Amino acid sequence: MTELHDLTALEQARAIQDGETTSAELVEHYARRSDALDAVVGAFITRTDDLAMEAARRLDAAVAAGEEPVSPLAGTVVPAKDLVFVAGVRCTLGSVAYDITPFGDDHVVTRMREGGLVITGKTSTPEFGLPCYTEPAVAPSSRTPWDLSRSAGGSSGGAAAAVAAGLASAAHGSDGGGSIRIPASVTGLVGIKPTRGRISNGPLRDPVGELPHQGVLARTVADAAALLDVLAGPFRDDPFPTPPVERGTFLAAASREPGRLRIGRYATPVVAEAEVDPRVLEVWDDACRLLESLGHVVEDVPPPFGPDQVPSFEAVWSVLALLTPVLPEDEERLMPLTRWLRERGRSVTGIQLAGSVSSMRLLTRMVVNATAGYDVVVTPTLAALPSPVGGLRDDADPAGDFEAQKRFTPFTAPYNITGQPAVSVPLGWPDVDGVTLPVGVQLVGRHREEAVLLSLAAQLEQAAPWAHRRPEVWSHG
């Protein structure tokens, strides 16, 4: 029998509007599943069931009064990552050194409320969102529902675990070096990092280097596109706004053919000298052949740059770790990797930071110009299969931990540097010791051309469907 969590987010919203269910029933359903499964997959740091029920009942009253829905996802359950502020809700930033209750919403949360989304909690993140695994001291590790011995990735690992385990309709995420696309790949989801400025980082999260992006995780391309429609749009105080698009633009893009595209492809690691797992390469190669069978022109292209260009990113990343204020007496409570990155950040001089930011901007021009003739570039999302919990983390050797992360995810960070839109789609499902594991493929587009990526991703989804694939825990709870 079909249950509420079996429906896509768009189907749930339609069922609410048609009177087949209510938003309150959806909140209750997901609360029961979270009671049963959250401790297993590590999705939430803080749950807000009571606040969610209040919001759901207001939405149900609007439906009963015959009001038009404020978005195609009105009434669905979409939690926020614990790196953003939700008024009146505890925020930890994934750290035992933080426990604050903000008075106001971040801009992305304002958009969530305006779109009628119901926020059932704050999803888990590693400390300050720094590593590509989600194993914070403040909450249980986030695990991919496909193999509970393996990590859900990071830093939006809790968000991905929630959606992949059927604890939420879709989820908000953020991405400073791959933090949406990495979890999407290891949990079998669609993850979108949009163009820089497409979703507001305001009012507090526009740090030096402009690396962080707000974005979305969902089970289907259409759900992800609809959520992007809800969250997109500048605020008047945004320093890097992207011109607004008509509401519904991205969902419409996911419903139309992309036309014949020119696609570049590469699988040479960019951020580190890493070995790419043969099973990952096979998924990427199969995806390229599928693209050709759909009528697209696929050509080999060189990687945008090599590991020699990475020090600029690392300098900025270390300074970002230092930008989060911590009381002197709390420094020792931070995770070893966080302390190591903050100490590294202290060693970066003003001229080194300015030079690194300038280098990244020049690199952006070079990369964008080098691939200007291509509608899309396709790469593996990751270099390896989902990592075991604890497999990348090394508290005794934070420098080694950082290098292991670079080898695991050498394809995502370049597009935080350039600010281009990038999507991970689950196109591979290898069997490893009797367990099916998801493998993502990354699609990168030109600036402000998310619609092209979404049309192509939807075409791939139709040709190689994945929504029917569900982990074993899906039927539990």
CA–CA dist 41, 43 (Å, integer): 6
Q: How far apart are CA 283 and CA 477, in angstroms?
A: 32
Closest CA relative to residue 286, chosen from 258, 265, 315: 265
What are the b/e assignments for 325-362, b being 16+ CB within 10 Å?
ebeeeeeebbbebbbbbbebbeebeeeebeebbebbbe
What is the rounded distance in angstroms from the CA atom of residue 411 to the CA atom of residue 380? 7
Q: Token digits for 196?
A: 């820089």
Cα 313 from Cα 465, distance rounded (Å):
36
Nearest partner of 465 among 420, 422, 429, 433, judged by Cα? 429
What positions carry a catalytic annotation?
81, 155, 179
Note the helical H segments in 324-465.
336-346, 350-370, 398-408, 414-418, 450-463
CB pairs under 8 A, 24+ apart, for 339-342?
Answer: 339/398, 340/398, 340/399, 340/402, 341/130, 341/317, 341/398, 341/402, 342/318
Q: Name the DSSP letter for residue 175.
A: E
Q: Are 211 and 444 in contact (CB under 8 A)?
A: no
| Cβ–Cβ under 8 Å, residues 83 and 92 | no
Look at residues 103, 140, 98 and name the one whose alpha carbon lies nearest to residue 123.
140
